Chains A and B, each alone.
Chain A
Amino acid sequence: MQTKVNNLIFTMKFTDACIHPYPSGDSSIRRMALEAAELGFDSCVVVNDIQLPSSDIKLLKGSVITGASIKNVIAGLRKIPDRGDLVFVDARDSSFNRSVLSLNRIHVLRGVGKDPNQIIDHVGARLAAKRGIALDIDLHPVIHSREERRQQVLHRYEDLIQLQRRFHFPLTISTNASSILDQRSVREITLLCSLFGMERKEVYNALATPESFITRKKIVEVVG
C-alpha cells in the first residue's frame, strides 16, 4: 500500500490551485514559482491579472468571478476570454452554489466552508460530481486563523470530505498564498489536510485536479 502511494507521487502533477503574487502580495510571480518548485509543486494557478513569465514550473492562469447573483456570474463568464483559463467562482449560499454548479465553463467553486453561509449540501455535491466541477479547499484559514474560526473551518472541511467520499466530486487544494511565507510544501499540505481526515491519496488526487482540467479534452461550450 505504501509503495502504491509513493508511486503516485511520480506519476501525478501537483498544482497549488490559487496564488496571488505581486502586486496583490509581497512576492513576485517568479519567486513564488521558484519556491513552489522547491516545495514539490509542478504547477501553480495564478489568479492575478498579470503577464505570466517563463519559470521552472508551469504557471496556469485562473480567473475568479465574485458575483452577488447568478446574473453577475454569467456576466462575469462572458468577460473571460476563451483561452483555457481555469474559472473559479466564489461560493455563497447553497441555492446560489447549485445554480453556479449548473453553469458551463466553470471549473472550481471556491470558498466552500470558509464561512457558515458558504456551504454546499448533498444536492450541490451530487451536481458537482455530475458536472465534474471541483470544490476548493482553502488552507489559508487553517494556517492563519485560530480558535473558534479554525475549529469551524476544520469541521466544515471534514463535512465536505464526507460528502466527497459519498459523491466523488473533484477537489482542489489551494494555499491562497500572497507571499512566499504563506506557501506550504506538499508534505506539509498532506499533514494539514490530515487534520480534517483527508488521507494522503485523497490529497494527492486533489492536488492533481487542476492539471486534469487543462489536459481534459475540450467539449462544445455554451455560456448561459
Chain B
Amino acid sequence: MKPRPPSLRFKKRYVLAVIIPQWRTTNTRQLQQKITESISTLVGDVGIAQILPTIVFYERGFIIVRCRRGTERMLTIALSTVISDGMQRIAVRSIATSGTILALKRKIILLSRDITEANLNMNDREYLIYKCFGQKVDLLEKGIKSQEILFLTEKDLEEM
C-alpha cells in the first residue's frame, strides 16, 4: 500500500513520562496493555480509537507515548491512573508533551541520573539498595515472593 502523504496523515503528539521506581525493568507490552486499559475505563473504546496510544520508546525508566494531536490531556490523565505494569506496583508521571520524539529524547538526557546498586543486611533480611538522585534511597528485599519495598532517604537509612 502506498503511504499517505504527510498532509493527509493524522497529526501526532508525544508524551514523555517517567516510571516510578525508575530502577525497575518494565515489560513495555504489559505496560501498553495497562495504559490502554486505564484509558478504556476512563473514556471507553471510542476514546481509545481517538487517542490511539502507543509506547514508541522506553529507556532507563522513561517512556514516550504517541497519541493523536488534541488528545494529550486525556492521555496524561490516563497515565496518572496507571498503578501497575501487570507485575508490580508502579506510578507513571507525565513530564512533557512535544510534537517530536527527538525533543523528548533531549529532555531524557537532561533528566536521567545514574542509579547505583548495593547490598544491605538489616534485621536478618537482605536488601538491595538503589541510590537514586539526591537523597533518595529505595530498598528492595531480596527473595522470590512478597518482596518488601521501602522508599527512604539517606538520612532515614543512617538512623535505622
Q: Do A and B bind each other?
A: yes
Measured CB to CB, the nearest residue on chain A to B160 is A28
Whether B90 contacts A150 by the Cβ 8 Å rule is no
B152's partner among A28, A142, A191 (CB-CB below 8 A) is: A28
Interface range for A: 20 to 34
The main secondary structure of chain B at its interface with chain A is mixed
Measured CB to CB, the nearest residue on chain B to A25 is B151
Which residues of A123-147 have CB atoms within 8 Å of chain B's CB atoms?
Answer: 142-144, 146-147
Indicate if B153 sits at the interface (CB-CB under 8 A). Answer: yes
Query: In the complex, A192 Cα to B81 Cα: how many Å?
Result: 9
Query: In the complex, A78 Cα to B20 Cα: how many Å?
Result: 41
Whether B91 contacts A180 by the Cβ 8 Å rule is yes
Q: Write out the residue numbers on chain B whose beta carbons fall within 8 Å of the beta carbon of A53.
A: 155
Query: In the complex, A147 Cα to B81 Cα: how many Å?
Result: 13
B144 to chain A, nearest CB (A): 19
Whether A191 contacts B77 by the Cβ 8 Å rule is yes
Query: In the complex, A32 Cα to B156 Cα: how many Å?
Result: 12
Q: Write out the residue numbers on chain B whose beta carbons fall within 8 Å of the beta carbon of A191.
A: 73, 76-77, 80
Beyond A34-B135, A184-B80, A188-B80, whether A28 also contacts B91 by CB under 8 A is no
Indicate if B93 sits at the interface (CB-CB under 8 A). Answer: yes
A31's partner among B81, B94, B148, B152 (CB-CB below 8 A) is: B152
Whether A185 contacts B93 by the Cβ 8 Å rule is yes
Query: In the complex, A183 Cα to B76 Cα: how many Å?
Result: 15
Interface range for B: 20 to 34
Contact pattern, B 89-106, Cβ under 8 Å of A = 1, otherwise 0: 111011000000000000
Whether B153 contacts A34 by the Cβ 8 Å rule is yes
B155's partner among A30, A179, A185 (CB-CB below 8 A) is: A30
Q: Write out the residue numbers on chain B whose beta carbons fall within 8 Å of the beta carbon of A115.
A: none
B153 to chain A, nearest CB (A): 4
Indicate if A50 sits at the interface (CB-CB under 8 A). Answer: no
Whether A28 contacts B151 by the Cβ 8 Å rule is yes
Whether A181 contacts B91 by the Cβ 8 Å rule is yes
Q: Write out the residue numbers on chain B whose beta carbons fall within 8 Å of the beta carbon of A34.
A: 134-136, 153
Beyond A34-B153, A191-B76, whether A147 also contacts B135 by CB under 8 A is no
B151's partner among A142, A150, A179 (CB-CB below 8 A) is: A179
Query: In the complex, A98 Cα to B125 Cα: how many Å?
Result: 50
Whether A26 contacts B81 by the Cβ 8 Å rule is no
Which residues of A143-158 have CB atoms within 8 Å of chain B's CB atoms?
Answer: 143-144, 146-147, 150
Query: In the complex, A74 Cα to B117 Cα: how many Å?
Result: 51
Q: Write out the residue numbers on chain A whose beta carbons fall within 8 Å of the beta carbon of B20.
A: 180-181
Which residues of A61-101 have CB atoms within 8 Å of chain B's CB atoms?
Answer: none
What 3 A-B pairs come out closest when comparing CB atoms?
A: A27-B151, A181-B91, A188-B80
Seen from chain A, the residues whose Cβ lies within 8 Å of a Cβ on chain B are: 22, 26-28, 30-32, 34, 53, 142-144, 146-147, 150, 179-185, 187-188, 191-192, 194-195
